[in-house]
Structure 1
């Protein structure tokens, strides 16, 4: 009888599994989940905002971090890594189990990291985690202004190559796009561009390298840069005047249908 009871107890305990406490105090079922979930060092998913305290040295940074039904972030901190006359660099780190989906940390929330600068930010641009840049130039205090892909001081709209590059970025043109033609006057722009398809050819002229796609876009100048109006391949003004009646007829009436140059 004792032997039978012993076998039953072994089976019962085996079915219960083993509960393992995680380092954050939560428990993980090691028998079904493959062991405890590790916490690892990580950086923010993105940094969406920055603002200065009244002393112009206390910096508050809004960082997107993992979120879930249990603890997903601990040890959130920001540190100054370097300062030069033009820039101040700050790095944000935290620990999280989000690298393992068993943690449930699959959502996103905003957390605020605080750091005190060694001296007032002044006219320096703030670089967070090497790629997100903020500036006080043109900002609305206490917030700093988030700079765009063209930097904190993008070229003004105008009939210049630098502004045409901004227009291409505004329509998410593919990398290595070629500008085929521009019609530009004041606050209006027509831009034809193409991009190569197929294998990478290193600029060669072999037949397999000549396959291209392309588009024609119409733009209006705004304080933020060139703003897309509409795109199309037909000649004349029909495409753009339907969306923007104020677009100058003289800039589009003589446009031929868009053709990809070979």
Structure 2
């Protein structure tokens, strides 16, 4: 027993030298770096939700998303006209928003977001130029109700009008978040209604003349759209052929656009055999 106590005392003494104390460190506890000061880092906003132009046509007020929490989470919030530093692009004005925050460290408690407004004065009136914030958020005064500027979409500030055109179909593909490198397989359009079939390859990358069936395997989808002021608006998705499914959802959908539709399972996946009654190879959708 005496020997055991001596060994224990010796081990504790070694631990004191190594850890600064015996029995005071808990497994999984914070390290000195974890308990040190929380750094403030420069960030850009997660989003810019609005922009307004002042009566002088030069002062911009930008609504931006910034971190928030129980303690201060933002300082040095500012917007800067970067054209003077990086050069101008005809027809545009570029502004960059930055701020400092400890939100990169969750110990700061800055785990939420709020809207803050930041202002910047341009060296000359905005005029008809587009406002580009943080390189990819674009506003325009064209078609907006002053003092607000209009937020432009993925197709720019002046997207193509709804109609039976290639540009219009591309807008519809973006609306339904079609996978990258999708192919438009068929369009049925009358200007007010649209059926759009598209597919994307799922097999390996192959040469154009490769006969391997796996190289032509695809998945596909079919959407039905209604024309609205903002562009094509999807209202139904279905792989079924004919009109029954879509007209059950929207009785006004014209029969002329759906009567000839084939089920996608047979139209888009020729390299896959149909499922057998015994539950053989499934036809992907």
CA RMSD, 1 decimal: 2.1
- SS of 2:82 mapped into structure 1: strand
Structure 1 stretches lacking a partner, 5+ long: 1-10, 16-28
Please state if 1:212 is matched with 2:213.
Answer: no
Once residues 239 and 112 of structure 1 are traced to their aligned partners in structure 2, the CA distance between those partners, rounded to angstroms, is: 48
State which of 128, 146, 150 in structure 2 corresponds to 1:145. Answer: 150
* Structure number with bigger Rg: 2
Change (3 A) 1:200 1:141: farther
Equivalent in the alignment of 1:158: 163
CA distance in 2, matches of 1:221, 1:78: 38
Task: Confirm or deny: 8 A CA contact 1:230 1:239 kept in the other structure.
Answer: no
Q: Distance in 1 between matches of 2:221 and 2:257?
A: 17
CA offset digits 1:165-209 (Å, max 9, x no partner): 111111111000011111111211111111112445576744333
Distance 1:201 1:61, change over 3 A: farther
Runs of 4+ in 1 over 3 A off after TM superposition: 29-33, 198-208
1:33 deviation in Å? 3.8
Distance, in Å, in 1 between the alignment partners of 2:79 and 2:150 is 19
Contact 2:219 2:268 in 1 (8 A): yes
Number of residue pairs aligned between Structure 1 and Structure 2: 237
From 223, 242, 246, the equivalent of 2:248 is 242
Q: Is the 8 A contact 1:231 1:239 kept in 2?
A: no
Residue 34 (structure 1) shift? 2.7
User: Matches of 1:163 and 1:43 in 2, distance apart?
Assistant: 33
- Quote how far apart the aligned CAs of 1:218 are: 0.9
Q: 1:224 aligns with which of 218, 223, 230?
A: 230
Higher strand share: 1
On the 8 A contact 1:86/1:124 being kept in 2, the answer is yes
User: 1:86–1:211: structure 2 CA closer, same or farther, 3 Å change rule?
Assistant: same
> Secondary structure, in 3 states, of the residue corresponding to 2:226?
strand
Using a 3 Å threshold, how does the CA distance of structure 1 residues 207 and 253 change in structure 2: closer, same or farther? closer
Aligned to 1:175: 180
Aligned position for 1:194: 199
Distance 1:35 1:94 in 2: 22
Q: Report the secondary structure of 2:214's partner residue.
A: helix
Q: Measure, in 2, the Cα distance between the counterparts of 1:53 and 1:164.
A: 37
2:268 aligns to what?
260
Match of 2:9 in 1: none
Per-residue Cα deviation, 1:69-99 (whole angstroms, up to 9, x for no partner): 1111100000101144400000001111111
Query: Quick check: 1:30–1:36 contact (8 Å CA) kept in 2?
Result: no
Alpha-carbon offset, residue 252 of structure 1: 1.1
TM-score (norm 1): 0.84
Match of 2:69 in 1: 68
Indicate whether 1:88 and 2:96 are aligned: no
SS for the counterpart of 1:115 is strand
Going from structure 1 to structure 2, the CA distance change for 1:233 and 1:113 (only over 3 Å counts) comes to same
- Quickly say closer, same or farther: Cα 1:204–1:104, change in 2 above 3 A: farther
Given that 1:214 and 1:260 are in contact with CA atoms closer than 8 Å, whether structure 2 keeps it comes out as: yes
> 1:30 Cα deviation (Å)?
8.4
Quick check: 2:217–2:269 contact (8 Å CA) kept in 1? no
| Contact map agreement 1:46 1:64 (CA 8 A) in 2 | yes
